[in-house]
Amino acid sequence: MLRTLFSPRLMGLHLLTIGVLVAFILLGRWQLGVFQDSGKPRVSTDPEPVAVATLARPGAQLSGEFVGRRVTAEGVYEADRQLLVADRRADVDAPGGNVSRDHGYWVLTPIRLDDGTLIPVVRGWAAEAGDPGVAAVPQGRVTVSGRLRPQQGTDSVQRRAEGLPAGQVQTVSTGELVNLWTGQQVRTGYLVAQPASGSLTQVKVPAPVVGGTLTWRNLAYAANWWIFAGFAVFMWFHFVRDAVRSDRDRGKSSPEMVLEG
């Protein structure tokens, strides 16, 4: 049996089968990887900036497809309504509240648009409340570019038990801002300025992200390659078994032929 297994004709079959198995398994893993990657969130196309008023409407939820979009706001900063968002890092995706206690502030200043509505703008980040950039609110008419973000829930962070000083908030919540800026119509969401205002530090904000769509076809391709690999093993076993049987039968018949001679 060993002589048959290691005969030149079967050694070629062994090597061919190994090569086929390796190729089919790798092709299956590749298709599986394509399937898994298809479901991952990815950065979408980044359209040209549009006026913030076309996306962020008063009293309406911000559509998910608008999150991260580049927008512009034209109007006048209302410095007397400025707030500091406490316990924040210079990244919109970083956790806020007690997790980031004493790590700095977002400087939140509303812009009054031409229609009289307010859009909250994070002008930048400051390490201290007394940072000179906090008080340096641009005067006159301005055009601010940045990315649009949805409002934050008032319960989205762990708040300080002792509360905050006047002029500070923990979240950028439209409902809370409406109560603080009484008598004003506030648009939903907020704009993160790019670049930051004056000497303030730029707050990092990602581009729009869309969820991936799983391509089940690639999963089927992966299964097909592995089925082919299994079939290759079956055929190898079939050929090897037939070769062993054939050589064994030939070995049994050889003595009889000698006796007849």
Q: What is the pLDDT of residues 41-55, one digit of tens each?
A: 665 667 889 999 999
Q: How far is CA 183 from CA 73, 83, 178, in A?
A: 21, 17, 8
Q: Which two tokens stand for residue 220?
A: 């089927």
Query: Mean pLDDT over residues 125-152, rounded?
Result: 95
Most confident of 24-38, 83-97, 149-163: 83-97
pLDDT at 63 over 70: yes
Confidence of residue 207 (pLDDT cuts 50, 70, 90): confident
Confidence of residue 178 (pLDDT cuts 50, 70, 90): very high
Kind plus residue range of the DSSP H or E element containing 242: helix 216-260
Confidence of residue 245 (pLDDT cuts 50, 70, 90): confident
Confidence of residue 254 (pLDDT cuts 50, 70, 90): low
Evaluate whether 185 touches 118 at the Cβ level (below 8 Å): yes
pLDDT for res 61: 84
Structure pTM? 0.66
Confidence of residue 258 (pLDDT cuts 50, 70, 90): very low
The partner residues of 242 in beta bridges, in order of sequence, read none
